[in-house]
């Protein structure tokens, strides 16, 4: 009797241990490519997110489809857009193509109508892509850098933390579960302000800074490396000693901060230093990508090229220098599946067709405007993280968007280009 009772108690104990616990709802913020996770009951502390939410909440106007500035029905806007696509020989598709689902739909549409696809942000993307195609790269995921790197070289200026506001918490700080033998060292190279340096130190990081022009950083790294290990160890230069003592060194930057002609040569030179460093110690580069990274990955899967590609049926023509892009008699289709205003599009040549959650006042009025829902807010969508290594299905369930009544970008694109062969 006692054995039977003990067996029942033990079985109940084992059930309590191994019975799967219900998963907590987690929201993922898609306003930058860090894709930070948070619980809906605990608002994410992020300057970029707070700015966008406060702006969006103040806009109560519900967008409607338009043709030449006049309100119309959704079906009429789709029909007129198909007529424009059928009357022209080539289309140019651009915009904030952020999700895997939209990227696939864009390439499928390009195959039907014959289009050159070059999304917003490709200028920054190709600074790194062109360098990798010539030099190659040695890189790691954000998780590997966060868990394993003992010293991180942060390259750039304050704009890096403006583009990725929670970079300190997501990448630079070691997780609490990670054994901390010593505090993480951060070498900040560039014209960083004292406020940013103070933020790094307040986060529990050992920080050493050198106020240097971003343009000269690759060459300066080569010069520091010419010192032999003994002289670097004895040097009073803290940066030199930290570079020497690091056993897993990571260089972190974003192409958006490289403001110079032929920036791909700057990236190539930096990768050359990283490869040379690996002769003695582990060293990786982590170029943080923006919202363009998802399209870049999907385009590579489907066409074999990372973007700036002319798609015509089953034929793909890679054009990294935009030699095939002509301004003559083409339909310009601009897609935006975010609520973030595309400031770089302001003042550009007028788009023929715009698919976006709303029209931005600074941009010229298109021939056709089709409102759409917001990816990752109105419906789940898949995004790549800034390291281009992890794809995450995201749903920001904390928000209540007014665009839920509209179709998603993939659903709209499925109805376009169908009249091309008529």
Q: Say yes or no to pLDDT of 10 above 50.
A: no
Pairwise pLDDT comparison (106 vs 420), residue with the higher score: 106
Start-to-end CA distance of the chain, whole Å, equals 84
Q: Name 95's bridge partners.
A: 335
**pLDDT at res. 403:** 56
**48-52, 67-71, 303-307: least confidently modelled range:** 48-52
**pLDDT at res. 62:** 80
- What is the tens place of the pLDDT at every residue in 357-371? 988 776 788 999 999
Helix or strand holding residue 332 (H, E): strand 331-336
**pLDDT at res. 341:** 59
Q: Which phi and psi (to 5°) does residue 152 adopt?
A: -120, 125
**pLDDT at res. 8:** 42
Work out the average pLDDT over 290-313.
95
d(CA 194, CA 304): 44
d(CA 142, CA 388): 9
Q: Say yes or no to pLDDT of 342 above 70.
A: no
Quick one: pLDDT band at residue 14, thresholds 50, 70, 90? very low
Q: Say yes or no to pLDDT of 327 above 90.
A: no
**pLDDT at res. 302:** 96
Pairwise pLDDT comparison (61 vs 322), residue with the higher score: 322
Work out the average pLDDT over 153-171.
95
Q: Say yes or no to pLDDT of 174 above 90.
A: no
Q: Which phi and psi (to 5°) does residue 57 adopt?
A: -70, -20
Work out the average pLDDT over 18-29.
57
Quick one: pLDDT band at residue 1, thresholds 50, 70, 90? very low
**pLDDT at res. 45:** 86
Other CB atoms within 10 A of residue 306 CB = 24
Pairwise pLDDT comparison (241 vs 334), residue with the higher score: 334
Query: Domain 126-288: what homologous superfamily?
Result: Dimethylsulfoxide Reductase, domain 2 (3.40.228.10)
Q: Say yes or no to pLDDT of 343 above 70.
A: no
Q: Which phi and psi (to 5°) does residue 187 adopt?
A: -105, 110
**pLDDT at res. 324:** 84
Checking DSSP bridges between strand 37-38 and strand 27-28, what pairing results, if any? antiparallel
3-class SS of residue 47: helix
Q: Give start-end residues of each CATH 3.40.228.10 domain in the chain.
A: 126-288
- What is the tens place of the pLDDT at every residue in 127-151? 999 999 998 889 999 999 999 999 9
Other CB atoms within 10 A of residue 152 CB = 23
**pLDDT at res. 9:** 39
Q: Say yes or no to pLDDT of 20 above 60.
A: no
d(CA 374, CA 114): 26
Pairwise pLDDT comparison (223 vs 246), residue with the higher score: 246
**pLDDT at res. 16:** 38
Work out the average pLDDT over 376-383.
91
Q: Say yes or no to pLDDT of 244 above 90.
A: no
Work out the average pLDDT over 296-304.
96
- What is the tens place of the pLDDT at every residue in 178-237? 665 578 899 999 999 999 999 999 999 999 999 999 999 999 898 877 765 555 555 457
The pTM is what? 0.86
Q: Give start-end residues of each CATH 3.40.50 domain in the chain.
A: 47-121+292-413
**pLDDT at res. 328:** 62
Quick one: pLDDT band at residue 402, thresholds 50, 70, 90? low
**pLDDT at res. 199:** 95
**24-38, 253-267, 376-390: least confidently modelled range:** 24-38
Quick one: angle between helices 122-135 and 293-303, nearest 10? 50
**pLDDT at res. 177:** 67
Quick one: pLDDT band at residue 259, thresholds 50, 70, 90? confident
Work out the average pLDDT over 265-276.
94
Pairwise pLDDT comparison (42 vs 303), residue with the higher score: 303
Check if CATH label 1.10.20 holds for domain 47-121+292-413. Answer: no
């Amino acid at each position: 009797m006692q054995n039977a009772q003990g067996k029942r108690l033990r079985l109940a104990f084992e059930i309590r241990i191994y019975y799967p616990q219900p998963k907590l709802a987690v929201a993922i913020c898609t306003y930058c490519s860090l894709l930070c996770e948070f619980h809906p009951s605990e608002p994410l502390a992020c300057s970029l997110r707070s700015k966008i939410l406060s702006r969006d909440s103040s806009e109560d106007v519900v967008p409607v489809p338009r043709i030449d500035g006049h309100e119309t029905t959704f079906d009429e806007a789709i029909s007129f857009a198909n007529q424009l696509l059928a009357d022209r020989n080539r289309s140019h598709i651009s915009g904030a193509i952020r999700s895997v689902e939209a990227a696939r739909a864009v390439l499928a549409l390009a195959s039907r109508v014959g289009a050159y696809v070059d999304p917003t942000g490709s200028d920054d993307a190709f600074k790194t892509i062109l360098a990798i195609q010539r030099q190659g790269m040695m890189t790691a995921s954000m998780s590997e850098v966060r868990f394993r790197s003992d010293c991180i070289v942060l390259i750039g200026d304050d704009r890096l933390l403006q583009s990725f506001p929670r970079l300190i918490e997501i990448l630079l700080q070691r997780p609490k579960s990670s054994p901390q033998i010593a505090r993480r060292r951060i070498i900040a190279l560039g014209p960083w302000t004292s406020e940013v340096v103070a933020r790094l130190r307040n986060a529990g990081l050992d920080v050493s800074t050198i106020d240097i022009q971003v343009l000269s950083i690759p060459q300066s790294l080569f010069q520091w490396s010419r010192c032999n290990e003994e002289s670097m160890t004895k040097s009073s230069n803290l940066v030199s000693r930290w570079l020497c003592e690091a056993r897993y060194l990571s260089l972190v930057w974003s192409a958006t901060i490289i403001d110079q002609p032929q920036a791909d040569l700057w990236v190539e030179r930096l990768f050359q230093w990283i490869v040379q460093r690996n002769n003695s110690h582990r060293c990786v580069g982590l170029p943080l990508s923006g919202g363009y990274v998802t399209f870049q990955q999907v385009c590579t899967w489907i066409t074999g090229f990372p973007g700036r590609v002319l798609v015509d049926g089953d034929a793909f023509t890679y054009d990294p220098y935009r030699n095939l892009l002509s301004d003559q008699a083409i339909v310009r289709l601009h897609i935006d599946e975010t609520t973030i205003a595309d400031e770089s599009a302001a003042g550009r040549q007028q788009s023929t067709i715009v698919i976006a959650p709303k029209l931005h006042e600074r941009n010229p009025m298109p021939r056709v405007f089709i409102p759409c829902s917001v990816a990752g807010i109105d419906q789940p969508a898949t995004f790549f993280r800034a390291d281009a290594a992890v794809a995450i299905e995201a749903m920001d369930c904390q928000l209540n968007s007014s665009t839920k009544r509209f179709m998603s970008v993939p659903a709209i694109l499925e109805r376009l280009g169908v009249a091309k062969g008529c």
